[in-house]
Amino acid sequence: MQDIDIHKLIDKYFDGTISDEQENELRGMLLSGNYAGEDVDEALAVMGYWAVRRRNNVGGRRRRASWAAAACTAVAIFVGGWAIYGLHHDSAPESVAYINGIEYIGDRATDLMDSQLMMMSVAAGSVEESISDDLSVFAGLVD
Amino acid sequence: MKRIVIALLLVICGQLACMAQKGLAINRLFDGRYHKDSCAVETMVRGAAVQKYDLDLYRSVTITGRPADANEIVPLIRSDVKNAVDSEESYKNGKLYYGFYSLGGKQTNRYILYLNQNVADGDKIVLLYLEGDAGVKQVKRMLKKKKNVVNVDNF
């Protein structure tokens, strides 16, 4: 409907029968950027509005860039979320041990963890004892 | 548009860097090389078994009767602990016997523990990697508790 109106207005414009009010209306329609066609381009050229319309289109480009930025941000958040989720919720078993090429899942791994921590604790304890021995030597010297 | 693509790539690279077990040199020891090694045992524990210690991840490699492996492991540890926020080391016969290193971390604390019994009276090399919310004191307390268990068992 709008399309028909603008073509009628353009015809009137070129016939010289268009009123001032209609010409203003036509100018607004042409600059809105919502219409296309040979007669629209011709009317824009004759009325000298090409530059204005192109400038208006820059706004459209900016809007497209904003959408692209929003889309990229959404993708980045998705990838980031997926990466973090994957770190904590991958499908690997909670406890696994490899002994002589055999995979053990569950208690065997936690038992190994306990025995390794015990070895470490004994070593850490020996370090503390060694420090304590060293200090006691110096304590003997200080009177 | 180019800027957006570059920003997106940077974000993705950042996330991938986080995934790649945080870029530690010792990580190459957990690449599966010990899975079929008859002298080695590799473990990985997550979930409830380590949550009681306020940890998210426990990884270890134990190598028995192969003291030369320390020559590969120690330099990797050295490279990882350059910026350690807390460290404790003990040497025997001129070689690293025991090391406790807290690497700190922004979101989670990371620890490397190393023991080479070959330089004392044993035949094992043990390397641990711990990750979680536990602070240095908590981890040391956990070790002390284990020591008490050993003492009670011996008694």
Q: Pick the residue from chain B with its C-alpha nearest to A61.
A: B1
Q: What is the mean pLDDT of residues A82-99?
A: 70
Q: What is the mean pLDDT of residues A12-25?
A: 87
Of the residues B50, B88, B143, the best mutation for testing chain A's interface (the one with the most A CB atoms within 10 Å of its CB) is B143
Of the residues A61, A64, A87, A121, the best mutation for testing chain B's interface (the one with the most B CB atoms within 10 Å of its CB) is A121
Is the pLDDT at B153 greater than 80? The verdict is: no
- Predicted confidence at residue B154, as pLDDT, reads 43
Q: Pick the residue from chain A with its C-alpha nearest to B91.
A: A127
Q: What is the DSSP string of B5-45?
A: HHHHHHHHHHHHHHHTGGG-GGGGGGSSTTTT-TTEEEEEE
CB contact under 8 A, B56 and A126: no
CB contact under 8 A, A109 and B43: yes
- Predicted confidence at residue B104, as pLDDT, reads 87
Q: Is B86 helix (H, G, I), strand (E, B) or coil?
A: strand
Tokens of B8: 């997106």
Strand partners, B130: B58, B111
Q: Which residue, among A111, A128, A117, A126, has the nearest Cα to B143 in the 3D structure?
A: A117
- CB within 8 Å of chain B, chain A residues 52-81: 65, 68-69, 72, 75-76, 79-80
Q: What is the mean pLDDT of residues B51-58?
A: 93
B chain contacts of residue A114, beta-carbon cutoff 8 Å: 146
Q: For the complex shown, is ipTM > 0.85? A: no
User: Residue B87: phi, psi to the nearest 5?
Assistant: -150, 155
- Predicted confidence at residue A91, as pLDDT, reads 58
Q: How far apart are CA B100 and CA B55, in angstroms?
A: 16
Chain A: nearest CA to B155, how far in angstroms? 15
pLDDT in tens, B99-146: 999 998 888 999 999 999 999 889 999 999 999 999 999 999 888 887
Is the pLDDT at B152 greater than 90? The verdict is: no
Chain B: nearest CA to A17, how far in angstroms? 47
A chain contacts of residue B97, beta-carbon cutoff 8 Å: 123
- Predicted confidence at residue A4, as pLDDT, reads 61
Tokens of A121: 């604790």
Residues of chain B with pLDDT > 70: what percent? 80
Tokens of B1: 């548009």
Is the pLDDT at B155 greater than 50? The verdict is: no
The crossing angle, in degrees rounded to 10, of helices A38-47 and A50-88 is 120
CB contact under 8 A, B45 and A94: yes
B chain contacts of residue A101, beta-carbon cutoff 8 Å: 35-38
Residues of chain A with pLDDT > 70: what percent? 76
- Predicted confidence at residue A83, as pLDDT, reads 65
A chain contacts of residue B50, beta-carbon cutoff 8 Å: 113
Tokens of A39: 């007669």
Chain A: nearest CA to B118, how far in angstroms? 12
A chain contacts of residue B150, beta-carbon cutoff 8 Å: 118, 121-122
Is the pLDDT at A64 greater than 90? The verdict is: no
- Predicted confidence at residue A62, as pLDDT, reads 63
Phi-psi region of B54 (alpha: psi -120 to 50; beta: other; left: phi over 0): left
Q: B90-101 b/e with 16+ CB inside 10 Å = b? A: bebeeebbbbbb
Strand partners, B102: B86, B111
A chain contacts of residue B19, beta-carbon cutoff 8 Å: 83, 86-87
What's the one-letter identity of residue A119?
M
CB contact under 8 A, B49 and A94: yes
Q: Which residue, among A112, A128, A134, has the nearest Cα to B147 in the 3D structure?
A: A128
Q: How far apart are CA B43 and CA B29, in angstroms?
A: 12
